A and B are shown apart, each in its own frame.
Chain A
C-alpha cells in the first residue's frame, strides 16, 4: 500500500485565493482526519469523517474552511478565501476505525499564504 497520499506537497498562494488540499486514505480505512500543525499550537484536529460522513468539525476554525469526502478514497479540505494566518502544514490521516490501531499520516501539505 502506498500509504496516505496528500497533494500538493507545497502550496504558495496569495491572500484571498481559494486553496484546495487533497487526500487519498489507505484502502479499507474508514476513518479520515484532517489536522493542522504549527509551531505555536502543535497538531490541531480540524475535522474527521467516519464512513465518509463528517462526525466532528468542531475544530474547523471558520466558515472559510470546508471539507468533503465524496467517497471512501478521496477527501478535500478547502480554504476560501485564504489568509496569511492559515499558513501551516496540513496533514491528512486515516485509520481502520478500531480502537487498537493508530493513525497513518500522509506527508502533509505545507501551505504558505502571502
Chain B
C-alpha cells in the first residue's frame, strides 16, 4: 500500500541555521507534492506546491525539491527563526484528482 514517511522525531536546530526536512514515499506516483505548516491547535496552512516535472521551487526563505527517482522531497528553511517552530506536513496528489494524502509530519523546533 502507499506510504509517506516523514521523520517522526523532532528536529531541533539553532536559530540562523538551515532546517532540512524529508518526505519519502513508496508505492505512489504523485504528480504534485505540497508542504504545509501546522501549529498546535490549528489547521494546517499551505506553504508550497511543486509538480513532478519541477526539480525545485522557492518562496522567500523556503525551498522545496522533488526527486521522483528517489521518491523524495526535501524542504529547507534558510536563516531559521524561533517563529518557524511548528510541525511540517508533506502531502501527495495524483493528476486528475484534487485528493491529497498526508504524511504524519515532522516537528521542528528552532532554538534561540
- Contact surface of A with B, Cβ cutoff 8 Å: 4, 31, 33, 35, 41-43, 45, 48, 50, 55-56, 91, 93, 95, 97, 99-108
Measured between beta carbons, the chain A residues less than 8 angstroms from B105 are 42
Measured between beta carbons, the chain A residues less than 8 angstroms from B42 are 107-108
Assess the B46–A103 pair: CB atoms within 8 A: yes
Assess the A43–B49 pair: CB atoms within 8 A: no
Beta-carbon nearest neighbor of A99 in chain B: B32
Measured between beta carbons, the chain A residues less than 8 angstroms from B104 are 41-43
Assess the A106–B43 pair: CB atoms within 8 A: yes
Cα distance A31–B99 in the bound complex, in angstroms: 9
Give the interface SS of chain A, mostly helix, strand, loop or mixed.
Answer: strand
Assess the A108–B43 pair: CB atoms within 8 A: yes
Given contacts A100-B49, A102-B36, A102-B49, contact A45 B43 (CB under 8 A): no
Measured between beta carbons, the chain B residues less than 8 angstroms from A97 are 98
Assess the B98–A48 pair: CB atoms within 8 A: yes
Measured between beta carbons, the chain B residues less than 8 angstroms from A103 are 34, 44, 46, 100
Assess the A99–B95 pair: CB atoms within 8 A: yes
Cα distance A45–B100 in the bound complex, in angstroms: 8
From B41, B44, B98, B101, give the contact of A95 (CB < 8 A). B98
Cα distance A4–B43 in the bound complex, in angstroms: 10
Q: Does B89 contact A (CB under 8 A)?
A: yes
Measured between beta carbons, the chain A residues less than 8 angstroms from B41 are 107
Assess the B45–A50 pair: CB atoms within 8 A: no
Beta-carbon nearest neighbor of A92 in chain B: B43
In angstroms, how far is the closest chain A Cβ from the Cβ of B74? Answer: 18
Given contacts A102-B36, A102-B49, contact A91 B95 (CB under 8 A): no
Q: Does B102 contact A (CB under 8 A)?
A: yes
Given contacts A102-B49, A108-B43, contact A43 B89 (CB under 8 A): yes
Q: Which residue, of A42, A95, A97, A104, has the highest number of chain B Cβ atoms within 10 A?
A: A42
Assess the A43–B95 pair: CB atoms within 8 A: no
Assess the A107–B103 pair: CB atoms within 8 A: no
Measured between beta carbons, the chain B residues less than 8 angstroms from A33 are 99
In angstroms, how far is the closest chain A Cβ from the Cβ of B87? Answer: 10
